[in-house]
């Protein structure tokens, strides 16, 4: 009898179970519901598609979550690389030319701007002059020993790159070259740190603008030979510890040194190169050194 029929066998019970408990409802629908087969197939197809869409959507969300987690992990654990600023101490000299030069090993530093190579050749740095320390004809100039020591620190015992400009050698048959240690131009470095003057010797002027700018900066900062010590003691190296009186620039100064007498009125054509250098360095006759490179009468003696 209809009254004895269990509630989940009724149409209302089966419909309720289809909504709340689909698998059970689907089973009871096909087992006990006297519905049209097209309706049953429609309900079965609807729930099947619904479940499949749910599975696909859930899998996509899971993959996205994994990607986000992976990205976050990479961001968190990725190390931050420190910024590396090249300095002279970190330069590694290689045998691969980067300035169209050749490589050679420095076996001896003669002074602040002259070196000797393992080939036996002597090299004079282009475009700069360091204070004089080894010429017996000239007094030891301020900061000469410091310049030589710095040059020794920079290049002695190292393989350097030698870059040629226009001239091959000077009048003393020394090679004229720019000296590179890695990407550091030693000629420029010595000028920038106050160990050398910038000096122009045409036609070898490739880096002259750089040297001039480096000298201006060193002078503004009063570095090295532009400092107070060398301003008051131009001809004596400060490391000697001997305090010298400033030489007064006067015409017809009767002080005699090396057979020469101070006379700032004398012109370059009327004296030898040695005397011209004496007038400049010992007597302070700066008119003999128009370009300020420390060499008197450049036209005749440069």
The CATH number given to whatever domain includes residue 103 is 2.40.50.90
Pairwise pLDDT comparison (34 vs 249), residue with the higher score: 34
Residue 216 has pLDDT above 60, yes or no: yes
In a domain, 139, yes or no: yes
Residue 65 has pLDDT above 60, yes or no: no
When mean pLDDT is compared over 115-129, 224-238, 281-295, the highest value belongs to 115-129
Instruction: Clarify whether 132 is annotated catalytic.
Output: yes
Please give the pLDDT value at position 301.
Answer: 76
In a domain, 86, yes or no: no
- Same structural domain for residues 204 and 129? yes
- Same structural domain for residues 223 and 177? yes
Please give the pLDDT value at position 11.
Answer: 67
Q: Please give the C-alpha separations between residue 14 and each of 19, 40, 85, 169, in angstroms, as whole numbers.
A: 9, 12, 79, 110
Name the active-site residue from 121, 156, 174, 219: 174
Instruction: Give the other-Cβ count within 10 Å of 106's Cβ.
Output: 22
- Same structural domain for residues 162 and 215? yes
- Same structural domain for residues 103 and 62? no
What percent of the chain clears pLDDT 70, i.e. is strictly above it? 61
Total domain count, the chain: 3
Out of 220, 240, 260, a domain closes at 240
Out of 10, 45, 77, a domain closes at 77
In a domain, 273, yes or no: yes
What would the DSSP string read from start to end of 174-206? -EEEEEEETTEEHHHHHHHTTSSEE--BTTB-T
Instruction: Clarify whether 174 is annotated catalytic.
Output: yes
In a domain, 297, yes or no: yes
Name the active-site residue from 2, 81, 105, 132: 132
Please give the pLDDT value at position 239.
Answer: 38
Residue 82 has pLDDT above 90, yes or no: no
| Contact predicate 163/85, CB 8 Å | no
Q: Domain residues for 220?
A: 92-240
Out of 77, 101, 136, a domain closes at 77
Please give the pLDDT value at position 48.
Answer: 79
Instruction: Clarify whether 177 is annotated catalytic.
Output: no
Residue 227 has pLDDT above 60, yes or no: yes
Is-above-0.85 flag for pTM?
no
Name the active-site residue from 124, 177, 192, 288: 124
- Same structural domain for residues 175 and 284? no
- Same structural domain for residues 125 and 175? yes
Structure-token match 């598609």, residue found: 49
Mean pLDDT value of segment 88-109: 73
């Amino acid at each position: 009898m209809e009254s004895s029929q269990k509630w989940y066998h009724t149409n209302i019970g089966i419909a309720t179970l289809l909504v709340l408990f689909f698998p059970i409802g689907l089973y009871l629908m096909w087992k006990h519901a006297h519905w049209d087969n097209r309706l049953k197939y429609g309900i079965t197809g609807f729930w099947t598609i619904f479940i499949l869409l749910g599975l696909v959507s859930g899998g996509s969300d899971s993959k996205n979550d994994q990607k986000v987690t992976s990205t976050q992990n990479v961001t968190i654990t990725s190390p931050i690389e420190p910024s590396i600023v090249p300095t002279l101490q970190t330069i590694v000299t290689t045998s691969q030319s980067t300035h169209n030069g050749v490589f050679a090993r420095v076996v001896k530093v003669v002074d602040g701007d002259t070196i000797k190579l393992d080939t036996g050749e002597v090299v004079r740095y282009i475009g700069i002059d360091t204070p004089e320390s080894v010429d017996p004809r000239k007094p030891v100039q301020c900061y000469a020993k410091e310049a030589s020591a710095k040059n020794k620190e920079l290049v002695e015992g190292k393989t350097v790159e030698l870059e040629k400009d226009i001239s091959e050698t000077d009048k003393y048959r020394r090679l004229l070259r720019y000296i590179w240690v890695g990407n550091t131009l030693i000629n420029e470095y010595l000028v920038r740190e106050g160990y050398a003057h910038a000096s122009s010797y045409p036609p070898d002027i490739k880096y002259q603008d750089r040297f001039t700018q480096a000298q201006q900066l060193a002078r503004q900062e009063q570095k090295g030979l532009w400092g107070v010590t060398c301003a008051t003691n131009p001809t004596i190296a400060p490391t000697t510890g001997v305090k010298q009186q400033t030489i007064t620039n006067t015409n017809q100064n009767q002080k005699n040194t090396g057979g020469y007498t101070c006379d700032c009125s004398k012109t370059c054509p009327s004296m030898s190169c040695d005397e011209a250098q004496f007038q400049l360095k010992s007597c302070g006759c700066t008119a003999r050194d128009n370009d300020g490179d420390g060499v008197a009468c450049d036209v005749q003696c440069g």
